[in-house]
């Protein structure tokens, strides 16, 4: 798994590539926690994520809770239909705004 961070105004964008599973979830969690310590808006670009395990879902939920606690926002981009299905079945989908493109996500998070 690779994570690349970039910034657009006051929004952090994390581009994630690979699977988010029990082996990679701790790295993702630590990287995102470090970034959201200094911001309240983050976009997770999951266009290149092919698989999310329960450990990955826990990381997403933890990020959501951290940001919600400081009145922040999180938007997911490029979530595959398979991952959306898992998020729907587990009830996680209701916690997140999901957009198809980065431009749509930037518009949503800045509104």
| pLDDT(58) > 90 | yes
Domain that holds residue 38: 2-110
Rg of the chain, C-alpha, whole Å? 12
β-strand partners of 11: 8
pLDDT in tens, 45-57: 999 999 999 999 9
pLDDT-derived band at 111 (thresholds 50, 70, 90) equals confident
Domain tally for the chain?
A: 1
Handedness of CA 42, 43, 45, 51 (dihedral sign): positive
Residue closest to 32 by CA, chosen among 58, 54, 8: 58
| DSSP state string for 23-38 | TTHHHHHHHHHHHHTS
Q: What is the CATH number of the domain that holds 32?
A: 3.30.750.24
- Report yes or no: 2 and 17 within 8 Å, Cβ to Cβ: yes
């Amino acid at each position: 798994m690779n994570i690349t961070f970039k910034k657009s105004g006051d929004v952090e964008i994390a581009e994630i590539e690979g699977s988010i599973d029990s082996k990679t979830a701790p790295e993702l969690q630590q990287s995102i926690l470090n970034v959201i310590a200094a911001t309240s808006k983050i976009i997770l670009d999951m266009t290149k994520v092919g698989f999310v395990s329960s450990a990955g879902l826990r990381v997403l939920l933890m990020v959501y809770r951290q940001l919600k606690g400081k009145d922040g926002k999180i938007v997911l981009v490029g979530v595959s239909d398979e991952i959306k299905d898992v998020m729907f079945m587990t009830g996680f989908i209701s916690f997140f705004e999901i957009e198809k493109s980065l431009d749509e996500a930037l518009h949503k998070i800045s509104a």
